[in-house]
Amino acid sequence: MRGFRGFFRKKPEVKNPVIPSTREDLRVGLYRDLEKNHRVMKDLFNRCYDVNFRIFRIGKEIEAEIIYVDNMAHFDDINTHILAPLMRKSCSRPEEVEAFLREELPAVYVKPVETFDECARLVSSGEPVLFIDGWNRALNLGLIQLERRAVTDPEGEPIIRGPKEGFIESAQTNTALLRRRIQSPQLKLEEMRLGRYTQTRVIIAYMEGIANNSVLDEVKRRLERIDVDGVLESGIIEELIEDNPYSPFPQIHFTERVDAVCADLLSGRIAIITDGTPDTFAQLSPVVLGHRRGYHPADQSVLEL
């Protein structure tokens, strides 16, 4: 009986895990003491063998530390454009280091970072972060290196006429493909982060002056209310923002073709690009059954333009 009593005994509740990159107590400013900043970041990335902490001195006077992830940062660029110049540079104040990086090292993208939450997110995404003793700010260096596949013809949507460029898994590359085709400042690209753990980059693309503002506000509202552990691909977003998930009729148009999304944008529709998946989908208002790519040839949008 003792065993049965133990089996039916009420088990303690397990609290939901809280990740460092979204924890409230990390949305605070950095310390001026480099040692304190090092302890916090070291604790955040405990048991992460691929995260490197490189401590060095700037001109043998100011102690500094750079944090980066193996195979996600340009290691050679870090040594060539960051460590070597800073070790040779004579600086007495942290502000001089930032000015030196901005003005004399054109290969480095420098952006100040002020909270532990942002530092953890940048390091997790592969971007090196530089901490300087005596300064309550860090510097995002932007020397990120990620393996990406080449832009190719989308296999699922073959066409005879028209461009043969398809989206890939990189949101940065996909937005560049849109910019190359629609060379106008009216093409707006707004960034959001979704997923408590994944912090997936999601881009909202629309044409200012063409897209309906009320529809745009509704799309943003639905995206902002998404509260899930992770967004690994665009299908998760589709299930959470569409009106009728069980409807047999299409409500959102998916495509991997760049020209198809450009045609949708010029028609006033709103595109949502999810980092990590080549499928880009456009929010239609209203949804037109004939617009679905499966009901007419894939290159019809090009012929109509």
Each residue's pLDDT tens digit, 125-150: 888 999 999 889 898 887 777 667 77
Which amino acid, 233?
A: E
Residue at token pair 């529809």: 215
Cis peptide before 286 (omega within 30 of 0): yes
Please tell me the predicted confidence (pLDDT) of residue 7: 41
Structure confidence by residue, pLDDT tens digits, 49-78 = 999 999 998 887 789 999 999 888 877 878
Structure confidence by residue, pLDDT tens digits, 248-298 = 766 777 888 888 899 889 999 999 999 988 877 665 444 555 454 444 445
> pTM score > 0.75 for this model?
no
Residue at token pair 């049965």: 4
Residue at token pair 């980092």: 275
Q: Are 105 and 142 in contact (CB under 8 A)?
A: no
Q: In the chain, what are the domain boundaries? A: 20-140, 171-304
Which residues pair with residue 254 across a beta bridge?
281
